[in-house]
Chain A
Amino acid sequence: MTNFAQNSRAVHTPGQDDAGTCFNIQDVNLYYGSFHALKDIHMDIPARQVTALIGPSGCGKSTLLKSLNRMNDLIPGCRITGKVELFGEDIYAPQTEVNLLRKRVGMVFQKPNPFPMSIYDNIAYGPRTHGVRSKVKLDAIVEHSLRKAALWDEVKDNLKKSAMAISGGQQQRLCIARCFAVQPDVILMDEPTSALDPISTSKIEDLVLEMKNEYTIVIVTHNMQQAARISDLTSFFLLGEMIEMGNTDSLFSNPTDKRTENYITGRFG
């Protein structure tokens, strides 16, 4: 078994500029039954940077995101060819232990999905699953994770409160804190602010910018301004193909492909 929790974990050096390649995606094709959802995708996702995936609905960006921690495995009829390497290891190799992969590659969804339990237990759930039993250790993990998610001050006196009772913005930050608790390398975010108000969105965006000092972030967003605000690299998808990838500044000021230009300027999609 490939132990993704222990093997070749990226060494975190906050503020380091060039941390190498996190995901190396080679010639990936993905099918839902007969539908060809991803076509010949080649891309490198750099470590400890924010990479935004943009494109119209149905273009394959969320499919690609889910293929990075094998969430697509759960979809009947889904088939993938090609190679996805995480820091040099093929995540689709037969010996890969998927639970450990998902520990290392966390995910935050469009709609906050806290577990129907207390705030504390939401955070402690992952570490407990991976064998942490000490109350002292769990307390420390919960506080550390909530602090990193800029939620601690808001909930520290109500850790036993149901996670279902806090606001949507707080729930989303709780889900991010839940990712932190298992010390991932990567956090995948699938339209994480589309259900949030502008203030909650702003808090999540600030958080993303802080997170990239320690984590690789891949974010799917329909909000062009959000991609421009928080991402270092942007990749444009259309009809299952990756059309263009580049520095966010360049892509939004002077895209090289006409289809990218037409999409980001709102001429189609």
Chain B
Amino acid sequence: MRSHFDEQLHKLNEEMIRMGSMIEHAIEQAGILMASRDAEHARTVIAADVEVDRKEREIETLCLRLILMQQPVARDLRLVSSALKMITDMERIGDQAADIAEIISMPVKGQRYVYPELLQQMGPAAGTMVNRAVDAFVKRDVDLAHEVIESDDVVDALFNDVKKELLQTMKKHSEFGMQLLDALMIAKYLERIGDHACNIAEWVEYAVTGTYKGDKL
């Protein structure tokens, strides 16, 4: 029964996985850019964000059509409403990866500041959170979702360490002033990406169990 509805839910699942892989790719590229500082490559990452935005619109339309036409309840409603919430975070992750690329694509006057190792570590750390949040959705794995939420502390701790290091550098090397501010912006974007991954994980838990941040919705 409801085979057409089930087909549409299957399509929603596939589209979510597709959008998930797009943002995983974007954040991975942002990490590569932090080391390579390749402006040309950065521009391709910025351009790719348009596709993430388009995918968000497609999924949003699909969800709204499902709600309108199929009036889902119970697990179906949880899946559709979670997807609607998750794509907002996924789109923001795409934006922030593009923002990092945009900073890197800008020309630097004078000597180039090499990003500290801790900042370079933040990229993979936030990227892993995103990968695992998407994975938790694909597998409907609540335990994995919890692990993602817990791992946000790692990214937050890295962010604090990066801030301290940048502050020390600023005191000694005022000539890097603007680049240090850019590095701080990048660190903040990565920290926010970790937060968005947490949000995704929280909606995964809701989709599977009906519990959101400890409350039954």
A182 in the interface, Cβ–Cβ < 8 Å? no
- Chain A contacts for B174, CB-based, 8 A: none
Q: B5 to A266, Cβ gap below 8 A?
A: yes
Q: A266 to B75, Cβ gap below 8 A?
A: no
Q: B73 to A224, Cβ gap below 8 A?
A: yes
Q: Which of B75, B209, B210, B216 contacts A265 (CB 8 A)?
A: B75
Q: B1 to A253, Cβ gap below 8 A?
A: no
B75 to chain A minimum Cβ distance, whole angstroms, is 6
Q: Which of B5, B71, B73 contacts A253 (CB 8 A)?
A: B73
- Chain B contacts for A268, CB-based, 8 A: 1
- How many residues does chain A have at the interface if contact means C-beta atoms less than 8 Å apart? 15
A59 to chain B minimum Cβ distance, whole angstroms, is 17
B48 to chain A minimum Cβ distance, whole angstroms, is 37
Q: B210 to A267, Cβ gap below 8 A?
A: no
B76 in the interface, Cβ–Cβ < 8 Å? yes
| B2, B71, B75, B217 interface centre (most CB from chain A within 10 Å) | B75
- Chain A contacts for B216, CB-based, 8 A: 250, 253-254
- Chain B contacts for A264, CB-based, 8 A: 73-74
Q: Which residue of B lies closest to A225 (CB)?
A: B71
Interface string of B67-95 (1 = CB under 8 A from A): 00001111111100000000000000000
A267-B2 contact in complex given A224-B73, A253-B73, A253-B217, C-beta closer than 8 Å: yes
What separation, in Å, do the CA atoms of A225 and B70 have in the docked complex? 11
A127 in the interface, Cβ–Cβ < 8 Å? no
A259 to chain B minimum Cβ distance, whole angstroms, is 12
- Chain A contacts for B74, CB-based, 8 A: 252-255, 260-261, 264-265
Nearest 5 CB-CB pairings of A with B: A254-B210, A266-B2, A252-B73, A264-B73, A261-B74
Identify 18 new A-B residue pairs, CB closer than 8 A, beyond the known A254-B78, A254-B216, A261-B74. Answer: A225-B71, A228-B73, A252-B73, A252-B74, A253-B73, A253-B74, A253-B77, A253-B78, A253-B210, A265-B2, A265-B72, A265-B74, A265-B75, A265-B76, A266-B1, A266-B2, A266-B5, A267-B2
